[in-house]
Structure 1
Amino acid sequence: MQSSSELFPVALISAEYRGDLSEDVYRLKPGRAPDFSVELAVTRLGLADQPSRGQPVILLHGSFSNRRFWYSPRGIGLGPYLARAGFDVWVAEMRGHGLSPRNQAYKHNSVAEYARYDLPAIADFVREQTGQVPHWVGHSLGGTTLAAALGGGYMGEQDAASVALFGTQISRIYWPLKVPPVEWGGRLLLKGFHHISGARFKRGPEDEPVGVALESLRWHRLFGRFGDAERDWWAGMAEVQVPLLAVSATGDLQDPAWACRKLFEQFVSAPRSFLLLGRERGYSSDFGHIEMLVSKEAQSEVWPLVEYWLRERQLPAEKQQD
């Protein structure tokens, strides 16, 4: 692989104009994880007629998803919106998602691997290419991975100028998993699969490795914790000082507002803002887990707030919530 980086092998696999946008797709091979076959696709978006770039922003999709969550083929999404606002936008795809190929140990992929190895590598590459510390925006599992990377100490202020977490929580209780025989049975059942099909279960266009599901069982079982064998990520979040925005929605049944709020409150040392989207807060919709970022209402009511946060590290005065 011919490298366009001095850090590790990187290939520019595509460079195109998409209407008013430029789209460069890189494939990174960091070689940092135990599985050396891991390759990660990162798409860079900018304005075609403006070679100068603004502050870098990295977007992380959630489970069963890919870069199209942020960037539709028609050039619609938070990614193009931020690029047109002058930001240097990077859309990352996790192992086996979108343009990132499945690695040899795909079945055993986990948030712990993503947080420890993949996100720091992406941060290093973007910082090398831009000369600036990037902002991060994560949705759902993407936000959970960011929280793990920060809480585990794998990323810090040298890697993240700020972090925005949408629909991100770890505190929702699944009572059956607190019964050891149920959790053991679920684990035994899952181990027989290679992946969980997003299309089959109508969760999204991508599959998820079974390792991520097994990891979630560990977090939610009796006496489980948000962490791995070496580190307690939940406890580590209390030491994080990176500016944080946490966003939840009244209509999000998957990651309810109270649970998102609990994760937000764990970042006690960080400059932080919490935003609840819903009619009771003056918005036109209660939004949902996806709709908080992908909907016509989000285009006019949420995307401008993301832009404001990225520029100011705070919300407009009229949108600030206790």
Structure 2
Amino acid sequence: MQSSSTLFPVALISAERCGDLIEDVYRLKPANSPDYSVELAVTRLGLFEHPDQRGVPVILLHGSFSNRRFWYSPKGIGLGAYLARAGFDVWIPEMRGHGLSARNQAYRSNRVADYARYDLPAIAAFVREQSGQIPHWIGHSLGGTTLAAALGGQYLGAPGAASVALFGSQVSRTYWPLKVPPVQWSGRLLLKPFEHISGPRFKRGPEDEPIGLVLESMRWHGLFGRFGDAHGNWWTGLKDVEVPVLAVAAVGDEQDPEWACRKLFEQIGSVERKFVCLGREHGFSEDFGHVQMLVSKSAQTEVWPLVADWLRERSTVAEDTLPEAAAG
């Protein structure tokens, strides 16, 4: 089958109609990481009446234990569908082993470091090739943390990101037992035999998460731990970020509290940046929670328009004329 891209093998694996929307699913095989078996499913949402219409590209990155359905339901409800109907060119990747993305050979060892270093730049390059414009990014929870890692590690910069929005994302919430070396070592020893943590079993979401991701998070929060990997300190690198950044926290978010989200935001060096906290004391109708900040009836009327306005305000740049290459 002929590839849909000149960058690396890409196949259109399905093309369906979802009410007034079209749902095209591509399978990317970038072969840019040590595990050449990695394949990533990326869904494009567009309007059925104007299938070839290309608005400003926006990439939506799901969080842990989740998949593309966080952004739009089978009935066509969600932020992704809302943005598509507003004229944006919406792209929704599913990370390794999530949703339509097959589990790679080294699935149990997958980490945020792999997503940030290899997968996000490949996705950015593909979307840019297809749309002819630099994409905007929106990440929720772990999706936002992955974006922060890609920015701090210099894997994703101006050639691959016109702006970045982080929803409920942080790396500073402290788990004090992990600061005790014997507890850290014991925990890692107990977890290493497992391949994954089951989202459905522990009622965290529809997807599983590889054990490598859990071990990586434990290392970040251990004694002398830092947000980074053996190749660099992402936390320090965030000071050099130049792309516009929107960070959104929620007063009722117990998983990723406001103070921790704000700390990540304040570490980012972008000149153009904005912090929003969703709560009654800040003029919203309720104290939003971790999921409700993007998936709720209140989010539809109060948060989704905020996102669309942010994107429109930063979508005045002319069509991208940079050479076709992976973002970095």
| Equivalent position of 1:61 in the other structure | 62
Q: Distance in 1 between matches of 2:53 and 2:195?
A: 44
Name the count of aligned residue pairs. 314
Give the Cα separation in 2 of the matches to 1:75 and 1:269.
34
- Please give the alpha-carbon distance, in whole angstroms, between the structure 2 residues aligned to 1:54 and 1:156: 21
Q: Which residue of 1 aligns with 2:77?
A: 76
3-state SS, counterpart of residue 285 of structure 1: coil
Distance 2:271 2:254 in 1: 27
2:233 aligned residue: 232
What does residue range 115-134 of structure 1 map to in structure 2 within 5 Å?
115-134=116-135
SS of aligned partner of 2:229: coil
1:86 equivalent to 2:79? Answer: no
User: How large is the Cα RMSD of the aligned pairs?
Assistant: 0.9
Q: Would you say 1:305 and 2:306 are equivalent positions?
A: yes
Q: Distance in 2 between matches of 1:21 and 1:291?
A: 24
SS of the residue 1:25 aligns to: strand
CA-to-aligned-CA distance 1:108-141 (integer Å, 9 cap, x gap):
0000000000000000000000110000000000
CA–CA separation in structure 1 for the residues paired with 2:2 and 2:33: 20
Separation in structure 1 between the aligned mates of residue 269 and residue 12 of structure 2, nearest angstrom: 40
What TM-score do you get using the length of structure 2 for normalisation?
0.95
Cα distance, 1:270 vs structure 2 = 3.6
- Residue-by-residue CA offset, 1:280-308 (whole Å, 9 max, x unaligned): 11111101000000000000000000000
Answering whether residue 186 of structure 2 is matched by residue 185 of structure 1, we say yes
**1:252-263 pair list within 5 angstroms:** 252-263=253-264
Deviations 1:28-77 (A, max 9, x none): 00000100000000000011112311100000000000000001000000
- Within a 5 Å distance, the mapping from 1:150-161 to structure 2 comes to 150-161=151-162
CA distance in 1, matches of 2:54, 2:126: 16
Alignment match, 1:204: 205
Distance in 1 separating the partners of 2:15 and 2:136: 23
Q: How far 1:2 moved relative to its partner?
A: 3.5
Query: 1-side partners of 2:73 and 2:104: how far apart?
Result: 25
Matches within 5 A, 1:13-162: 13-50=13-50, 51-162=52-163
Matched, 1:170 2:171: yes
Deviations 1:74-107 (A, max 9, x none): 0000000000000000011000000000000000
Distance 1:54 1:2 in 2: 25
2:266 corresponds to 1:265: yes
Runs of 4+, deviation exceeding 4 Å: none
Structure 1: how far apart are the matches of 2:217 and 2:270? 26
Whether 2:249 is the aligned partner of 1:248: answer yes
For residues 235 and 121 of structure 2, the distance between their equivalents in structure 1, rounded to whole angstroms, comes to 19
CA distance in 2, matches of 1:52, 1:295: 29
Letter in structure 1 aligned against 2:26: Y
User: Using the alignment, how far apart are the partners of 1:270 and 1:215 within structure 2?
Assistant: 30
Residue segments in structure 2 that go unaligned for 5+ positions in a row: 316-328
Greater RCO structure (CA 8 Å; 6+ sep) = 2
The one-character-per-residue Cα deviations of 1:162-210 (angstroms, maximum 9, x if unpaired) are 0000000000010000000001111111101000000111100000000
CA distance in 2, matches of 1:253, 1:46: 34
Alpha-carbon distance, 1:230 to partner: 1.2
**Could you say what secondary structure the match of 1:26 adopts?**
strand
CA distance in 2 between counterparts of 1:56 and 1:19 reads 21
Q: Distance in 2 between matches of 1:282 and 1:123?
A: 35
Matches within 5 A, 1:6-17: 6-17=6-17
User: What is the distance in 2 between the residues matched to 1:268 and 1:238?
Assistant: 4
Cα distance in 2 for partners of 1:123, 1:147 equals 15
**Structure 2 counterpart SS, 1:133:** coil
Residue 320 (structure 1) aligns with: none
Structure 1 position 269, deviation (Å): 3.2
